[in-house]
Structure 1
Amino acid sequence: MFAQFALHERLLKAVAELNFTEPTPVQQAAIPPALEGRDLRVTAQTGSGKTAAFVLPLLNRLMGDALPRVTIRALILLPTRELAQQTLKEVERFSQFTFIKSGMITGGEDFKVQAAMLRKVPDILIGTPGRLLEHLNAGTLKLNDVEVLILDEADRMLDMGFSEDVQRLGKECANRQQTMLFSATSGGNGLREMVASVLREPVHLKLNSVSELNEGTRQQIITADHNYHKERLVEWLLANETYQKAIIFTNTRVQADRLWGKLVAAEHKVYVLHGEKDQKDRKLAIDRIKQGGAKVLVATDVAARGLDVDGMDLVINFDMPRSGDDYVHRIGRTGRAGGEGLAISLITHSDWSLMSSIERYLKQRFERRNIKDLKGIYQGPKNLKASGKPVGPKKKKVDKKDAKKPGAKAAAPKRKPTARPNNAPSAVVSQDGLAPLKRKKPAAE
């Protein structure tokens, strides 16, 4: 029960109002040290309840009597607009019985309207690094009195090239008293460097190893001959699988638009979401999916983070993601909060090596599947072991001792090149044996 935590009664009232009963493992592990003011480094799978794990301790810290707002007291950094909007909604839900106010700054919105909001000085500011830096450079944002800095989906911010921006914003919050960093994966050297630079003697909480991520999601692959074959497989899956809502990932905007057009022509209720869509269209697509006006969303990786849709129980990778971490975040759109889901990746010969490397990264082996009516020619590399690794003919090893036994075939002796007479016909082979030499004509006598 949440009552076990030393939370303010108004926060417990909000928790009860929202029908939160048992804390999730990440909440159970992270809330107590966060309430103590410790810096945290938390790795936990998508959909595990990370947002409440940092929002509740943050709100508890900021609780007090209603006073005039003169400084921004907390900053939450996120990689995408969609995730920022989702986090803002969660903060507002948990703070509904308090005097705490929050605001959001992301790209794609009117800069002057955002500056006016900043002049009202929200207690908690939620935003994406790029637009926050624009306001910082314009002098409309001051962060020197921030008490708590939270980096959510930190690994994704690094993937999107926000490392320097995050470091700059962290330095602007120089007087902060607590920093919490959350991510779904352990990341690489870049994330370790960020942890070292922004956290002070942190508590490390690793709730899942990468092989345990998305345990409630079945993971399958279907081989395909080419992209047109993939498009037919997608149509078959949407027509025959049982699902409430589905998301189909592509690696490019061009492919996303093409697939969207194909599915619309096949009379599917589908929306498309990618980086070239303006904020109005992106919000419309997400709202329609959430409200049930459409069952299918075609998206690039811009939607792999921050998209929390109830009933999203089918993920199709039209294109295999470029890394294991991206794969984890894609399939994390389904099987959330302990639910079950299905993730299907469509694999051509050019995708096989990438798919195999992701299997090794996850220490898992995906279920192989064929659709009888659409079975292609390509079925993976030839001569596969049970492990899925290609094999070739074994070379027979010859023991050196056996080579000396009677009857053993002796190696042919090397022949020394012999000189040819001047009148030898045709071309002469050079002594290195690599190229023919043209025979010179004899000099005139």
Structure 2
Amino acid sequence: MFSQFALHERLLKAVAELNFAEPTPVQTAAIPPALEGRDLRVIAQTGSGKTAAFVLPMLNRLMGDAKPRVNIRALILLPTRELAQQTLKQVELFSQFTFIKSGLITGGEDFKVQAAMLRKVPDVLIATPGRLLEHLNAGHLDFEQVEVLVLDEADRMLDMGFAEDVQRLAGECKRAHQTLLFSATSGGAGLREMIGSVLKDPLHLKLNSVGELNEGTRQQIITADHAYHKEQLVEWLLNHETYQKAIIFTNTRVQADRLYGRLVAKEFKAFVLHGDKDQKDRKLAIERLKQGGTKVLVATDVAARGLDVEGLDLVINFDMPCSGDEYVHRIGRTGRAGGEGLAVSLIGHGDWNLMSSIERYLKQNFERRTIKELKGTYQGPKKVKASGKAAGTKKKKVESKAGAKAPSKAPAKRKPARPKSDQPALVSQDGMAPLKRRKPAAGAGSASE
């Protein structure tokens, strides 16, 4: 029960109102040390409840009587608009019985409207790094009194090229503050560098290894001959699999639009989401999917983070992601909170090596699947057959009927050596191979003419 945590009674009331019964493992591990004021570095898989694991301790620290707001007291940085919007809703739900107010800063919204909101000075500011820096440079922000800094999906922010932005924003928080860093993967050297610069004596909590994906999610691969074959497979899966909602990931916006057009033509209730869509369309796509007006979402990796949609139980990788971490975030959309899900990756000739490297990274073997009606010619790389004569084996001696050894072949006659020319050998410009001399054409003069 959440009552085991030393949370303010108004926060516990909100938790009860939201029907949160038992805390998840990440909440059990992270909330107590966060309440003590420790800096945390937490690795927890997508869908594990980590948002509540940092929001509740953060709000508990900010609790108090209503006072005029003169400073931003908590800052939450996230990589995508969708994740930021979702986190804002969580903060508002948990703080519904308090005086704490929150605000949102992301790209795609009116800059002047956001500036007006900042003048009201929210207690909690939730933002994506790029747009937040624009407001900082415009003189609209002051982080001098920030008490809690949260970096959620820190590995993704680095992948998206926000490392310098995050470092600068963290550096603007001058006052001694608590920093909570969460991610779904362990990340690489860049993340370790960030941890060393923004965290002070952190407690490291690793709730899962990268291979420990959602237990209820089956992972399959289906081989495909080409892009059109993949489109046929997607259509077959959407027609024959049992699912409430599905998301299909592509690596490019062009392919996402093309696939979306095909599905709409086949009368699927679909929507498309990628970076070229404006904020209004992106919001509409997410809302339609959540409310059930859309059953299928075609998206690029812009939607791989921050999507928490109930009933999303089918994920299709039209294209394989470029890394094991990105694969984890994609299929983490399904099988959430103990539910069941299916993740199918379509593998063409150019995808096989990438798929194999992701298997090795996750230390897993994906289930191979064949759809009889659409079985293609490509079934993975061909195995190289060993030659009939193994290298290093001794040849059997051939003997005649009389038992004598068969006579060896006579050595081939050598051609008489050609007389050496007095002219120097021609050599290619790279000095590696000799060039052949051309025969002079009929009637041609000598080289000296």
Q: TM-score, normalised by structure 2?
A: 0.89
- The C-alpha deviation readout for 1:407-428, integer Å capped at 9, x for no partner, is 9xx9x99x999742479xxxxx
Deviation at 1:126, TM superposition (A): 0.3
2:91 corresponds in structure 1 to 91
Deviation at 1:57, TM superposition (A): 0.3
- 1:202 paired with 2:196, answer no
Aligned to 2:211, the other structure's residue is in SS state helix
Deviation at 1:8, TM superposition (A): 0.7
User: Aligned partners of 1:325, 1:416: CA distance in 2, in Å?
Assistant: 64
Alignment of 1:47-126 (within 5 A): 47-126=47-126
Deviation at 1:393, TM superposition (A): 1.5
User: Aligned partners of 2:70, 2:227: CA distance in 1, in Å?
Assistant: 56
Aligned to 1:211, the other structure's residue is in SS state coil
User: Aligned partners of 1:232, 1:130: CA distance in 2, in Å?
Assistant: 39
Alignment of 1:182-201 (within 5 A): 182-201=182-201
Deviation at 1:174, TM superposition (A): 2.1
Deviation at 1:257, TM superposition (A): 0.5
Aligned to 1:297, the other structure's residue is in SS state strand
User: Aligned partners of 2:153, 2:72: CA distance in 1, in Å?
Assistant: 22
User: Aligned partners of 1:317, 1:129: CA distance in 2, in Å?
Assistant: 28
Q: What residue identity is the alignment partner of 1:330?
A: R
Deviation at 1:368, TM superposition (A): 0.4
2:386 corresponds in structure 1 to 393
Q: What residue identity is the alignment partner of 2:390?
A: K
1:2 corresponds in structure 2 to 2
Q: What residue identity is the alignment partner of 2:317?
A: N
- Which consecutive unaligned segments of at least 5 residues does structure 2 have? 398-404, 422-431
Aligned to 2:137, the other structure's residue is in SS state helix
Q: What residue identity is the alignment partner of 2:313?
A: D
1:232 corresponds in structure 2 to 232
Aligned to 2:13, the other structure's residue is in SS state helix
- The C-alpha deviation readout for 1:107-126, integer Å capped at 9, x for no partner, is 11111111111111111000
Deviation at 1:144, TM superposition (A): 1.1
Deviation at 1:397, TM superposition (A): 3.8
1:427 corresponds in structure 2 to none
Deviation at 1:396, TM superposition (A): 2.4
Change (3 A) 1:422 1:84: closer
Aligned to 1:310, the other structure's residue is in SS state coil
User: Aligned partners of 1:371, 1:84: CA distance in 2, in Å?
Assistant: 39
2:179 corresponds in structure 1 to 179
Change (3 A) 1:433 1:353: closer
Deviation at 1:234, TM superposition (A): 0.6
Q: Work out the percentage of aligned pairs sharing the same amino acid.
A: 79
Deviation at 1:326, TM superposition (A): 0.8
User: Aligned partners of 2:109, 2:62: CA distance in 1, in Å?
Assistant: 28
- The C-alpha deviation readout for 1:313-355, integer Å capped at 9, x for no partner, is 0000011111111111000110111111100001111111111
User: Aligned partners of 1:19, 1:49: CA distance in 2, in Å?
Assistant: 14
Q: What residue identity is the alignment partner of 1:213?
A: L
1:263 corresponds in structure 2 to 263
Does the Cα contact within 8 Å between 1:148 and 1:176 map onto a contact in 2? no
Alignment of 1:156-305 (within 5 A): 156-305=156-305
Does the Cα contact within 8 Å between 1:250 and 1:318 map onto a contact in 2? yes
2:402 corresponds in structure 1 to none
- The C-alpha deviation readout for 1:286-324, integer Å capped at 9, x for no partner, is 101000001000000000000110000000001111111
- 1:343 paired with 2:343, answer yes
- 1:372 paired with 2:372, answer yes
User: Aligned partners of 1:83, 1:442: CA distance in 2, in Å?
Assistant: 80
Deviation at 1:4, TM superposition (A): 0.7
Does the Cα contact within 8 Å between 1:74 and 1:146 map onto a contact in 2? yes
- 1:420 paired with 2:413, answer no
Change (3 A) 1:437 1:98: same
Does the Cα contact within 8 Å between 1:102 and 1:123 map onto a contact in 2? yes
Change (3 A) 1:206 1:418: farther
User: Aligned partners of 2:158, 2:40: CA distance in 1, in Å?
Assistant: 18
User: Aligned partners of 2:29, 2:436: CA distance in 1, in Å?
Assistant: 77
Deviation at 1:176, TM superposition (A): 3.7
| Number of residue pairs the alignment of both structures matches | 425
Q: What residue identity is the alignment partner of 2:386?
A: P
- The C-alpha deviation readout for 1:172-212, integer Å capped at 9, x for no partner, is 01214200100001111111111111111100011111111
Larger Rg: 2
Deviation at 1:438, TM superposition (A): 6.1
Does the Cα contact within 8 Å between 1:105 and 1:126 map onto a contact in 2? yes
Q: What residue identity is the alignment partner of 1:398?
A: G
1:321 corresponds in structure 2 to 321
Q: What residue identity is the alignment partner of 2:119?
A: R
Q: What residue identity is the alignment partner of 1:284?
A: L
- Which consecutive unaligned segments of at least 5 residues does structure 1 have? 384-390, 424-431
User: Aligned partners of 2:276, 2:252: CA distance in 1, in Å?
Assistant: 11
Q: TM-score, normalised by structure 1?
A: 0.90
Does the Cα contact within 8 Å between 1:217 and 1:342 map onto a contact in 2? yes
Aligned to 1:360, the other structure's residue is in SS state helix
Q: What residue identity is the alignment partner of 1:26?
A: V
User: Aligned partners of 2:433, 2:296: CA distance in 1, in Å?
Assistant: 65
Deviation at 1:398, TM superposition (A): 2.0
Deviation at 1:434, TM superposition (A): 6.3
Change (3 A) 1:417 1:13: farther
Deviation at 1:437, TM superposition (A): 5.4
Q: Alpha carbon RMSD of aligned pairs, Å? A: 2.8
Change (3 A) 1:420 1:214: same
User: Aligned partners of 2:42, 2:91: CA distance in 1, in Å?
Assistant: 19
User: Aligned partners of 1:417, 1:161: CA distance in 2, in Å?
Assistant: 67
User: Aligned partners of 1:98, 1:271: CA distance in 2, in Å?
Assistant: 37
Deviation at 1:433, TM superposition (A): 9.6
User: Aligned partners of 2:87, 2:182: CA distance in 1, in Å?
Assistant: 13
User: Aligned partners of 1:419, 1:437: CA distance in 2, in Å?
Assistant: 18
Change (3 A) 1:418 1:39: farther
Does the Cα contact within 8 Å between 1:149 and 1:176 map onto a contact in 2? no
Deviation at 1:242, TM superposition (A): 0.0
Change (3 A) 1:341 1:422: closer
- The C-alpha deviation readout for 1:209-236, integer Å capped at 9, x for no partner, is 1111222210000011111111111111
User: Aligned partners of 2:296, 2:13: CA distance in 1, in Å?
Assistant: 36
